[in-house]
Chain A
Amino acid sequence: MRKIKKILVANRGEIAVRIMRTCREMDIETVAVYSEADRLSLHVRYAHEAYYIGKAPSTESYLNIEKIIEVARNCQADAIHPGYGFLSENATFARRCGEEGIIFIGPSPEVIVQMGNKIKARETMQKAGIPVVPGTEGSISDEARALEEIRKIGLPVMIKAAAGGGGKGMRLVHREKEVLTALRAARSEAQSAFGDGSVYIEKYITSPHHIEFQILADEYGNTVHLFERECSIQRRHQKMIEETPSPLMTPQLRRQMGEAAVEAAKTVRYTGAGTIEFLVDNDLNYYFLEMNTRLQVEHPITERVTGIDLVKQQILIAQGEELPFAQKELVQQGHAIECRIYAEDPDNNFMPSAGKICKITEPLGFGVRTDGYVYEGYEIPIYYDSMISKLIVWGNTRDEAIKRMKRALYEYKITGVKTSIKYLEKIMNCPDFIEGNYDTHFVEKNRNTLAGTARCNDDCEDMVIISAYIDYLDKLSRVYGYKEFVPAQNRWKKTPLTHHF
């Protein structure tokens, strides 16, 4: 066992900052790496040390294995935490860390290969007796075969990148004439996102619920699950809102699925933190979907209801310690919800919206946590994900958590880029969500309820007009000494306190 004293975080954005926060609490030195576009990103400013690793496109920086290894070696980092995305599920990277004597905070390269390739993962789980969704037995690279397979499985089908995740390289096909376009788009996206264009095809389950189980496993065979996360609220196949416990779950199903998740992890001798994703239909049948061999974006809701810092556990497991708790000691206390704040335009098919953050006011108060990385004056680069923060709330009951989330979303204000904040608030007010009556079609199904904006009244518009008028007069009087309007000597803050980069 070797105590980790310095960790290089091979990631950016909110997750890099989130990992470093735990490192600081554990007295572990932190090392950031950054691309040309990220010199002013918060993770660089938060870390003890920071090193440049290449140009803005992630293939030249955050995916550059040798460069990151070189930095880790030079700064004598004991371990590398890969976060999620980028190299987090890259077996070559994990192997190279091992060869250099650097601890990779994650499972072994063998497990990453086995579970990272979704086709292999399916086979493994099938053998372990865990139910899987009907689909192709291997990856498909030629279009004719794909068409043939799709006829066999029957529409609708889901085309997925074999190396995929996060909704990239994924297409749902309802009609035969859409097959070719969808296949090409999926392959092209898969190629550019993961450097591997192979895809596989799966039967599409109607009214599916996306429910996943968090697991933790140490090197000594102790494996526990930390209950479920309900992740069915999605748009463009990317999650928007997650909650735990799931409104769909029954104690019996939780026990069954939890045991299946632990079994799945044990089958591959998993170590570290991982997630088993399941599809659950309305009749509570569950199917293994995939295993994510890394920390998930939505891990904080699990942390909130269990009281366990998952990053801390990852680090402790990586330095060879035994899990400090057993399954029976784990409980879900209260209810947690996470909303992902994306820089995007919900009124325009969730189009990403890059640009400069002008003002930001983050929510605070009882039961509220934000994991973010943008600050006033920060310019969101076009090269990376559009998620700018995660808002996590906790309440004693689901009802209290929803009300708290509404309050927190009310407080959350970001100007300069378009965000999903108000859209999320509308979801919190949506009867289907409040009743817990939803599946992955929620956004589509409630399109009309969620569309448009509640217009503020005329008085409110007039206040906007007055504001613009005063701002204009204020500027005029400063330039011309305009007489009819006297700028107040003490009109709040004359100089902004923030000095932007």
Chain B
Amino acid sequence: MSIEIKLNDRFALVEIVRQEGNLLQVKVDDKIYNVDLMHTADGTFSIIEEGHSYNIELLTLEQPKKYIAYTLYNTYDVEIIDAETRYLINRGGSGLESSEKNIFSPMPGKIVKILVSEGDPIQKGDTAVIISAMKMESEYKAAIDGIVKKINVSEGDTIEGNQILIEIE
């Protein structure tokens, strides 16, 4: 059974050709690899391929088919595109969730100051909100010109990561 796997922007087709215990022959796109693969249940992988030793850590995110993969120097977003995922993607359409239109919190923190009000015009690069996290204050700016449509937080609020703080139209 071949499965499509997405690594950052790359789509690759993967298939097991042969298996003998931990010795696997795997085809990735057109390339065949003979690997000795050992792993733990919580995502630590040791792979020996042609004498090269690779250490990879997989971190499962909220969805079971999405991973963050760590190699020595790189971090990748990895997703298994099986039938179910494909169905969800197709049904969801490709309507781009405009992250540009909204100001997100990239991490948990606390709102120190909101510099705009609903209905205000805002220009690209204007600071809209100041957030304090881990004792540092950072300014969050608008990515587009527009009007402040909605402000979802107040000064002093504790916020979660990836929360929409301010919507711009």
Contact = CB atoms under 8 A, between A and B. Distances in A.
A382 B58 contact: no
A384 B133 CA distance: 8
Interface in A447-482: 453-456, 459-475
B134 A384 contact: yes
Given A188-B112, A351-B138, A468 B41 contact: no
Interface residues of B, number: 64
A468 B136 contact: no
Contact of B5 (A358, A386, A469, A475): A469
Contacts of B57: 358-359, 413, 415
Interface stretch (B71-79, B117-125, B142-150): B71-79
Contacts of B65: 472
A128 interface: no
Interface core residue of B10, B39, B64, B109 (most chain A CB under 10 Å): B39
A496 B40 contact: yes
B136 A464 contact: no
B59 A416 contact: yes
Nearest to A473: B16
B3 interface: yes
A493 interface: yes
A456 B107 contact: no
Contacts, number: 165
Given A464-B69, A469-B3, A488-B21, A168 B28 contact: no
A359 B12 CA distance: 27
Interface residues of A, number: 58
B13 to A, nearest CB: 10
> Most chain-A CB neighbours within 10 Å: which of B12, B58, B132, B135?
B135
A349 B106 CA distance: 13
A465 B69 CA distance: 9
Interface in B3-59: 3, 5, 7, 10, 12, 14, 16, 19, 21-22, 24, 26, 28, 31, 33, 35, 37-47, 49, 52, 54, 56-59
A382 B39 contact: no
A493 B28 CA distance: 26
Contact of A352 (B16, B41, B82, B134): B134
A189 interface: yes
A358 B69 CA distance: 12
B135 A461 contact: no
A466 B35 contact: yes
29 contacts: A168-B135, A351-B106, A353-B107, A354-B133, A354-B161, A358-B59, A359-B57, A382-B109, A384-B134, A415-B68, A453-B73, A460-B71, A462-B28, A463-B33, A463-B35, A464-B69, A464-B78, A465-B12, A466-B26, A466-B33, A467-B37, A467-B56, A468-B80, A469-B3, A469-B5, A471-B39, A472-B3, A488-B21, A493-B41
Interface of B: 1, 3, 5, 7, 10, 12, 14, 16, 19, 21-22, 24, 26, 28, 31, 33, 35, 37-47, 49, 52, 54, 56-59, 64-65, 67-74, 76, 78, 80, 82, 106-110, 112-113, 132-138, 161
Q: Which 10 A-B pairs have the closest CB atoms?
A: A352-B134, A386-B134, A496-B42, A493-B40, A492-B38, A467-B45, A462-B28, A469-B14, A464-B69, A382-B108
